[in-house]
Amino acid sequence: MSTISDRLTHAQQEFNAVISTISFNEDAVDSAPTLRGLPIAFKDIVDIAGVPTTCGTNVDTGPVPTKNATVAQRLMDAGAIPVAKANLQEFSYGILGDASAYGRVINPRDPQVCGGGSSSGSAALVACEALDLTVGSDSAGSVRVPAASQGVLGFKPTTGTIPLDGVFPFAPSFDCIGFFASSIELIEQALLATVDEAPTPAKTVSTIDVSALQTKGERFAGLLSALQDSTFAAVERLDYSQLESTIATTAKLYAPMRLKEAYDVHQPYLDQRDKYQDVILERVLGGQDITQADYDAAAQQVEQLRTEALALFDASPIILAPTLGAGPIKWDDITAENTADSAASLRRWTEPFNVLGWPAITVPLRTTETTGVGDAVQVIGKPGQDLTVLRVAREIQALL
C-alpha cells in the first residue's frame, strides 16, 4: 500500500497538483474516516506556520508566516495533519486554472479537459486519490467549478461561516473557504471543526426544486429519473424568470465589486508587475478605474438583492442547478477569442451564490461505469442551512 508521501509525489509528477510538501509523521496517519490522523492539503493561499505561502505567484507577498490560518489551526486541533500546499491559479484570479507561476494543473480524470480554477490543485489531489480532504477557496465558483471539472465533491459554505484570517484574499466580500473530499461525511466534519458558530441542524426536506435542471433537456434526465425513487418530491414551482433575472443581476453587481476589491488587495504589490503572469496583471489593473461611488452603489444593491432573492426558496428549501453552464470544457476548445465566454460558461451557475452568500455543494454524477469527468449537479440552500444542503447532497449521491 502506497504511503501518503508516495501519493503526493505521484500527484506532483503526474498532475502538477502540489507546490510544496510539509514535513509530517507517516505513522501518525489514521485511515479511519475522521479528521483525527487525516492528511490534508491546503490551497497555497492558506498560511501554515513555517511554510511559504506562494499564492501561485513569483510576486513577493511577505515573509514566511509564523502562525497558522484559523481554518488550518482548527482542522489541526481536530487532529488533521497538514501534508502539502496545493497548486492554484495565480492569486486565485481566474476560473479556468490556466495561469500559475508553477504551471497548469493537469486534470486527473481527463488531461484534455480544463480542470477549472482557481483551486485546481486541491481538486486534483482528491480526484487522483492522493488525499481524501483538501481545502480550497471559492469566490465565484473556485471550489465548485474545479470539483465539477474533475469529478469530485466540492462545498462552499454560507458566506462568513468560516473565518478567513491567514488566507490571502481575492475579493473579500465574496471569499469563502471551501472543501473538496471523497465523502460528504468528511466535508461535514471539516465544516463543524472550522465554523465560528455551530450551524443550524439539518432539516428534513420533502421537496427539491428541479426547474433549472429541466431547462437543460436530456442532460440531467438520469438524475431526474433517479429522484422519482427518492424521499424527495421533485417540483418545478420556482419562478424561473426570477432566477434568471437574479443571475443576471448578480453578474452585473459582482463585476465592479470584484474588480475594485482585487485591485485594492494588489496595490501594495504593483511595484513587482514584472513578476505577475501577464493575464493576471491585466485583470488586476482592470479594477483601477472603478470609482468608490460605483463600488458603494453595487454593494448596496447586493445587500438588497440578498433579501429579495430569498423568495426563490418560497416553493422549496433546496434548489438543484447545474454546476457548469454547458458541462466540462476541453482545453482545445478554449481559444484566445472565446476565453472570456468559456470562463463565463463555467461560472454562470456558481458565481451568483457567492454574491448571494448561499451554501452550495457540487455533487459529481458519477457511477462505477463513468469514464472521464462526467457531469455534476449543484445543491443549493438558504444561508445558514449548510447541514441541510449536505444532508440532501448525501441522499442524492446515494441514488447514483
Catalytic option among 142, 149, 211, 316: 142
Cα separation, 151 vs 181, whole angstroms:
11
Q: Is 131 exposed, middle or buried (0-12, 13-18, 19+ CB in 10 A)?
A: buried
User: Among this protein's residues, is 122 annotated catalytic?
Assistant: no
C-alpha cell at 114: 480544463
Is residue 43 among the annotated active site residues?
yes
- Please state, as a whole number, how many other Cβ atoms lie within 10 Å of the Cβ of residue 110: 19
- Alpha-carbon distance of 283 to 344, in angstroms, equals 15
SS3 332: helix
Between CA 105 and CA 351 the distance in angstroms is: 22
Grid coordinates of 149: 471539472
**92, 118, 137, 149: which is the annotated catalytic residue?**
118
346 vs 157: CA distance, rounded Å: 19
In angstroms, the CA 317 to CA 380 distance is: 9
The DSSP element (H or E) to which 134 belongs, if any, is: strand 133-138
Residue 54 gets the label, from left (phi > 0), alpha (psi -120 to 50) or beta, of alpha
Residue 118 annotated among the catalytic residues of the structure: yes
Judge whether 326 and 346 are in contact, CB under 8 Å.
no
As annotated, the active-site residues are: 43, 118, 142
